[in-house]
Structure 1
Amino acid sequence: MALKQFPLDRTFLVAAWLEAVLYGCFLCVFSFGVYIQITSNKARNTHNRVMFIISIAMFLLASAHVAMNCFRLIRGYAEFVDGPGGPVGYLGQISRWDHIFKDTLYATQTILGDGAAVYRCWILCNRNYKFIVLPSMLLVASIMSACMTDALFITIPPSESIFYPRLTHWITTFLHGCGSAEHNHHWSDGVSTLADRTEDGALSSLYLFIEILLLSLYSVNYNAQYILLEAVTPTVGITFGMITIRITLRSHREWQLSQTEPGELRGGIQTIGSVPMRRIPVKITQQIQDDARSGGKNSSMDGISS
């Protein structure tokens, strides 16, 4: 039984709304990541700095992408409402400059996310290059297919859609390459700890799920793929931002432990939250009664305990 197509005019509205919601989530994650970076400046290392720079680039790309979607939505439903095909005729025309620019932002964000995953894999594998050969090849394939897709957009007739036969091969290759690179990042890693693989994999599961679902919907020419397509750009940023925050917090914790005196570690200093508890001197008075040996006399001992 064939899927009933979701109306394109509603599809573009829902897609823009979902991207705006996810972008708001990304904004919160990015802001918290900046705060963590500022407050943990003494615990920074080269790996943390690279991850933070990539996070900034992703935020800028996501901001430009949501702004372009807003621009296109206003033009489509306000300026082109009475034009040929109405809003759908404008928003669905993939050869327009604003669509090509928006798609380029999406492809760049996805490739940057996959490149960051390969870099993260290389770090976790103690900089052993043999573990990133396959992910790197998939990354190169994604870059080539993205460039070919954007180049073909210019030559597509205005009446054709994203499901044009000349495009499907390159778009499918791009989506498959992105999903495979993300998968191999987690499971080709044989040197990193199980905790690192599990935590990174859990944070990336949402992004991987959206990519697989997007590929499935595009393969059956279903219009709802537009909704997931617009959700990818902020989702990549959210995923990477959460991983960056986790890495920074762990580095900060390790730095704190390195600054602790060995004697204090052995003594087991207790804390309330992050505030260490101070020793308080306590005066103890003991009163001992020995009727048999002292004839009923009382003796007292004073001491200081801490």
Structure 2
Amino acid sequence: MVSQLSFEKVFIVSLWLESLMYGFLLCLFLASVYVNITLRRHQDGHSRIMFYIGIAMFLMASIHVSMNCYRLVEGYVTHRSDPGGPAAYLGALAPWHHVFKDTIYASQEIFGDAVAIYRTYVIWGRNWRAIILPAALLIVGLISGYSVCGLYPTEAAGRTVFDPRLQHWISTFYAVSFVQSFLTTGLMAFRIWQTDRRSKKYRADKGNLLPVMRILIESAALQLLVEFILLIMYAINLNAQFILLEIVTPIVGITFNAITIRIAFRSSESMSNFTRSSEANPSAHAIGEARSMPMRHIKININQETEAVADTESFSEAK
């Protein structure tokens, strides 16, 4: 039999770790505000939408950690002398505060999955076929996640999240969240790698898209790891799963902001390098000026490597 941590220890440790993750999220959110202000002239409508999404994720993470702070104070101070002590108060499923904070968690996961699907759609040249499976998984996650929250108020006192009535829905939601994160990250990384490989012959400089692929994978790695371990812990009925459950909400925001900020800084660095190159080499500046001139259609016959050129143009438009 697997050794269990007591609920008293689990709830304290989970809030401590969530507060730590929230601190990281706060730093990244402030960095995103700085990026949005200083790099505004380089941003388009898509970048501003991503910034507003980051604000929404930060607000949900703030509400979630605030609710857990409230619950901890109530459980260990106000209700410490009640039958069952803090564990009974914090472990109850039906009270409004538990339903509300888990609804925020489910919403953050679903929102994060939806944003990842949108990014996948853009990177794949707005090809809806690339997101059929992720979109189907999003619907499954939405149904299972909110079904759990809807069942909480009907649970009798003393029941836990390992109650058979909840296990099917919770297991489904955890599994879908992990598969969704893995799938969308893999689709984006594969498309970037594929486009970089096909466009290699046509690049005049040594720049490539592989650093963007590394940014996506490295930024999503923490969320993927946490979601995978959470699924395993819940499957073997470990109380310690609550520790990882509470930190998922800020981690979703961390993943989103990390990708946004790192790509924004990389784009800014590329622009700065081009500007310095233009100042040092007038011909490079002339090329930049030529790119800004109105273009007209010309007829070009290409006999080879047609697929590679098409893919490169599609990816450039997606960005």
For the criterion TM > 0.5, the same-fold answer is yes
Matches within 5 A, 1:181-200: 181-189=180-188, 190-193=190-193, 194-200=210-216
Asked if structure 1 preserves the Cα contact closer than 8 Å seen for 2:277 and 2:284, the reply is no
Query: Following the alignment from structure 1 to structure 2, what is the Cα–Cα distance between the partners of residues 242 and 51?
Result: 12
Alignment partner of 1:191: what SS?
A: helix
**Greater fraction strand:** 1
Query: Following the alignment from structure 1 to structure 2, what is the Cα–Cα distance between the partners of residues 47 and 265?
Result: 32
Question: After alignment, is 133-142 or 45-54 more displaced?
Answer: 45-54
Match of 2:7 in 1: 8
| Percentage of pairs with the same residue | 40
Match of 1:216 in 2: 232
Q: Which protein shows a greater Rg? A: 1
Match of 1:157 in 2: 156
Asked if structure 1 preserves the Cα contact closer than 8 Å seen for 2:10 and 2:240, the reply is yes
Match of 1:45 in 2: 44
Asked if structure 1 preserves the Cα contact closer than 8 Å seen for 2:5 and 2:240, the reply is yes
Shift of 1:264: 3.7
Q: Residue type matched to 2:40 in 1?
A: N
Asked if structure 2 preserves the Cα contact closer than 8 Å seen for 1:15 and 1:226, the reply is yes
Alignment partner of 1:229: what SS?
A: helix
Asked if structure 1 preserves the Cα contact closer than 8 Å seen for 2:212 and 2:263, the reply is no
Matches within 5 A, 1:4-153: 4-153=3-152
Per-residue deviation, residues 36-79 of structure 1 (Å, max 9, x unmatched): 11000101112211211111111000000000000000000001
Matched, 1:203 2:219: yes
Shift of 1:134: 1.0
Alignment partner of 2:9: what SS?
A: helix
CA RMSD, Structure 1 to Structure 2 (Å): 1.9
Shift of 1:191: 2.9
Asked if structure 2 preserves the Cα contact closer than 8 Å seen for 1:43 and 1:255, the reply is no
Query: Following the alignment from structure 2 to structure 1, what is the Cα–Cα distance between the partners of residues 51 and 264?
Result: 9
Query: Following the alignment from structure 1 to structure 2, what is the Cα–Cα distance between the partners of residues 69 and 255?
Result: 43
Asked if structure 1 preserves the Cα contact closer than 8 Å seen for 2:185 and 2:220, the reply is no
Asked if structure 1 preserves the Cα contact closer than 8 Å seen for 2:117 and 2:135, the reply is yes
Paired positions, count: 268
Give every structure 1 segment of 4 or more consecutive aligned residues whose post-TM-superposition deviation is greater than 6 Å: none
Shift of 1:8: 0.7
TM-score, scaled relative to structure 2? 0.80
Query: Following the alignment from structure 1 to structure 2, what is the Cα–Cα distance between the partners of residues 177 and 26?
Result: 24
Question: After alignment, is 87-96 or 109-118 more displaced?
Answer: 109-118
Shift of 1:258: 6.5
Residue ranges of structure 1 left out of the alignment (5+ in a row): 270-306
Match of 1:247 in 2: 263
Asked if structure 2 preserves the Cα contact closer than 8 Å seen for 1:55 and 1:241, the reply is yes
Decide whether aligned partners of structure 1 residues 268 and 227 sit closer, same or farther in structure 2, where only a CA change above 3 A counts.
same
Shift of 1:262: 4.6
Query: Following the alignment from structure 1 to structure 2, what is the Cα–Cα distance between the partners of residues 40 and 183?
Result: 30
Query: Following the alignment from structure 1 to structure 2, what is the Cα–Cα distance between the partners of residues 62 and 134?
Result: 27
Shift of 1:32: 0.9
Query: Following the alignment from structure 1 to structure 2, what is the Cα–Cα distance between the partners of residues 101 and 4?
Result: 30
Residue ranges of structure 2 left out of the alignment (5+ in a row): 194-209, 286-319
Q: Residue type matched to 1:130 in 2?
A: R
Question: After alignment, is 259-268 or 156-165 more displaced?
Answer: 259-268
Q: Residue type matched to 2:49 in 1?
A: V
Q: Residue type matched to 1:245 in 2?
A: I
Decide whether aligned partners of structure 1 residues 261 and 210 sit closer, same or farther in structure 2, where only a CA change above 3 A counts.
closer
Query: Following the alignment from structure 2 to structure 1, what is the Cα–Cα distance between the partners of residues 183 and 121?
Result: 12
Shift of 1:10: 0.6
Shift of 1:261: 8.0
Shift of 1:140: 1.1
TM-score, scaled relative to structure 1? 0.83
Query: Following the alignment from structure 2 to structure 1, what is the Cα–Cα distance between the partners of residues 65 and 149?
Result: 19
